[in-house]
Amino acid sequence: MLETVIYIGILSVFTVVIVAILMSIVHTYNRVRVQREVVSNGRLAIEAMMQQIGPSSAIYAPTSVFGNNVGQLSIVSQVEAQPEETVNRVDFWLDNGLVWMRKEGSATTSITSPSVRVNQLRFDQISQGLGREAVIITLQITSFADATFTASSTLHATAALRGTY
């Protein structure tokens, strides 16, 4: 009888410890997953924008919104121009927590996943001299899929338009 009580006691303590550890592992896994989502989405979004801005030759001002946390950027590039066109236009904008990209002649695509939310996509224009344009990108991104575990990152990058030289 005494042995049984001791067995049950030990097993109870053991079970509690195991459950606590398992819960901690699940908790950590979720935090890591959320952080990984934020970092990988931020990196991919910034890289996608910089890859397009780098070889472009001009900013298309009428449809660009600078200095606003819900910004939009339209750029003109000679790269990947459609047949019978001399230039290619690319737009980036923030809508409903996602960063969208549209290339002329292609479908609109989201460059961030629905598992994260972009709170700020700000573009600031830099004009350093004659034909020396650049764009400062500020991207503030947070996790969205799981309200319990949150991660956030603010990324800053500058891309110069080098399509003219």
Partner 1 sequence: MNNCLKIRKLKIENSQGFGLIEIVIVCGIVVMTFLVFTRAEVAALRLFRAGQENLESSLLAGEALEAVRSVRDESWTANIAWRTQTPLASPSLRYYPVVISGKWSLATSSPGLINGIYDRFVVFEKVSRDGSDRIVSSGGTDDPGTRRVTAHVQWGTKTTRVISYMTNFQASLGGTTETKTVSYEGAALESDFSFPSGNGSGDLTQSFTAPATAIKVSRIDLPLRRDVTTAPSDVYVELRTNALGGVLGTSNQIMGATIATSSVALPWVEFRFQNFVSLNANRIYTIRLRARPSATDNASGGSGLLYWRYGSSNPYAGGVASSSVGHFSDPTYGGVLLSNYDFGFWVYSSP
The answer to whether the beta carbons of residues 139 and 46 sit under 8 Å apart is yes
Residue 96 or 165: the one with the smaller Cβ distance to partner 1 is 165
Phi and psi angles of residue 114, each rounded to the nearest 5 degrees, phi first? -65, -10
CB of 18 to partner 1, least distance (A): 7
Alpha carbon distances (Å) from 151 to 18, 30, 146, 148: 27, 11, 10, 10
Residue 61 or 70: the one with the smaller Cβ distance to partner 1 is 61
CB of 25 to partner 1, least distance (A): 6
CB of 1 to partner 1, least distance (A): 13
The answer to whether the beta carbons of residues 121 and 93 sit under 8 Å apart is yes
CB of 108 to partner 1, least distance (A): 25
Residue 9 or 105: the one with the smaller Cβ distance to partner 1 is 9
Burial class of residue 101, CB neighbours in 10 A (0-12, 13-18, 19+): buried
Residues in contact with partner 1 by CB under 8 A are 3, 6-7, 10-11, 14, 17-18, 21-22, 24-25, 28-29, 31-32, 35-36, 38-39, 42-43, 46, 58-59, 61, 66-67, 124-134, 136, 151, 153-160, 165
SS3 category, 130: coil
Residue 20 or 82: the one with the smaller Cβ distance to partner 1 is 20
CB of 157 to partner 1, least distance (A): 5
SS3 category, 126: strand
Residue 23 or 106: the one with the smaller Cβ distance to partner 1 is 23
Alpha carbons 100 and 72: distance in angstroms, whole number: 10
